Amino acid sequence: MDTTFTETLTAMITVLGMLVLLVLPAVIGIARDRRTDRQIREAREARGVQQGQKSSSKSTVPSTATWYADGRRSKKLVSS
C-alpha cells in the first residue's frame, strides 16, 4: 500500500463517518415518531373497542350563531 491509497482510504472513511453522524439523528427521530404513532394507534383502537364509539363520529353541525353570522354576511355582500 502506498501513501496515496492510504490517504484516499482515510478520507473515504472520514467522509462516511461524517455522513453517518449527520444522518443518525434523523433516523433516530423517524424511528421514535413511528413508535409513537403505533402507540397512539393502539391506544385509540383499545379505547374504541371499550367505548364503542370513536371521537371522529361526533356530529359537526354548525351552531345557531354560525348560521346567523353567515346570513348577515351574505346580506352585506349583496347590498354593497
Domain segments of the chain: what residues? 20-46
Q: Which residues contact 44 (CB under 8 A, 6 or more apart)?
A: 54
Q: What per-residue confidence (pLDDT) applies to 21?
A: 96
Q: What per-residue confidence (pLDDT) applies to 48?
A: 79
Q: What per-residue confidence (pLDDT) applies to 5?
A: 94
Burial of 48 (0-12, 13-18, 19+ CB in 10 A): middle
Q: What per-residue confidence (pLDDT) applies to 4?
A: 94
pLDDT digits (tens, 9 = 90+) for 23-62: 999 999 999 999 999 999 999 998 876 655 555 555 666 6
Mean pLDDT of the chain, nearest integer: 80
How far is the CA of 79 from the CAs of 8, 22, 39, 48, 69, in angstroms? 78, 61, 54, 50, 16
pTM equals: 0.48
